[in-house]
Amino acid sequence: MKEFQFTINDPVGIHARPAGLLVKKAAEFQSNITINGNGKSADAKKLIKLMSLGIKQGMEITCQIEGEDEDIACEAMINFFKDNL
């Protein structure tokens, strides 16, 4: 299992647009990708679940990746968060 922490920089947090992009990026991988934050967790491949986390600017999330392609998926998710959130 791979894991990383990231502090959200987007002024609105994880809102509809980046959440949709995040789901698309996560769907590219076979690994299970879980986002933990604000005392909750969600499957990164489920838009409504991600939105329900209520992640705002300045909050720290933990992304856990487990599966066959976890190394590639982890690197891609780190880059996604840096570029989009």
Given this model, what pLDDT does residue 59 score?
A: 93
Select which of 4, 10, 15, 38 is catalytic. 15
End-to-end C-alpha distance for the chain, whole angstroms: 23
Specify the 3-state DSSP secondary structure of 31.
coil
pLDDT over 90 at 84, yes or no? no
The domains of the chain, with CATH numbers, are 2-84 (3.30.1340.10)
Given this model, what pLDDT does residue 67 score?
A: 92
How many residues in total does the chain contain? 85
Two structure tokens written together for 12: 């609105």
The answer to whether 15 is a known catalytic residue is yes
Given this model, what pLDDT does residue 16 score?
A: 83
Query: Model's pTM, two decimal places?
Result: 0.87
The predicted-structure confidence for 16-73, as pLDDT tens digits, reads as follows 888 899 999 999 999 999 999 989 999 999 999 988 988 999 999 999 999 999 999 9
pLDDT over 90 at 76, yes or no? yes
